[in-house]
């Protein structure tokens, strides 16, 4: 098993321990803003950590509304914020 998994967030190259969720990997890299609310355009980040809310949804490899708190980082994955 590799010691780290490489992925990108908004074009920034990052790495994480295998099995780490996207939200935890981004938090470890100092990134807490995962999206922007649709109505008030406020920053959103991980909230419940269990997939119940939609606060941490991100765009992963072109797939919208992926729960960052539940989805493990995969080698080569491209993650982007959802704005509104």
Split the chain (84 residues) into runs of 10 and give each run's mean pLDDT. Answer: 91 96 96 86 82 87 94 97 80
3-state secondary structure of 42: coil
Tell me the whole-structure pTM to 2 decimals. 0.89
pLDDT of residue 49: 77
Q: How far apart (Å, rounded) are the C-alpha atoms in residues 83 and 80?
A: 9
pLDDT of residue 1: 64
What residue ranges define each of the domains in the chain, with the CATH number in brackets? 5-83 (3.10.20.440)
Copy the structure tokens of residue 79. Answer: 């993650």
């Amino acid at each position: 098993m590799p010691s780290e998994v490489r992925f990108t967030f908004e074009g920034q190259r990052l790495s994480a321990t295998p099995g780490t969720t996207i939200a935890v990997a981004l938090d470890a890299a100092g990134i807490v803003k995962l999206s922007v609310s649709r109505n008030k355009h406020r920053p959103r980040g991980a909230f419940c950590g269990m997939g119940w809310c939609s606060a941490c949804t991100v765009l992963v490899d072109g797939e919208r509304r992926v729960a960052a708190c539940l989805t493990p980082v995969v080698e080569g994955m491209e993650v982007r914020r959802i704005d509104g």
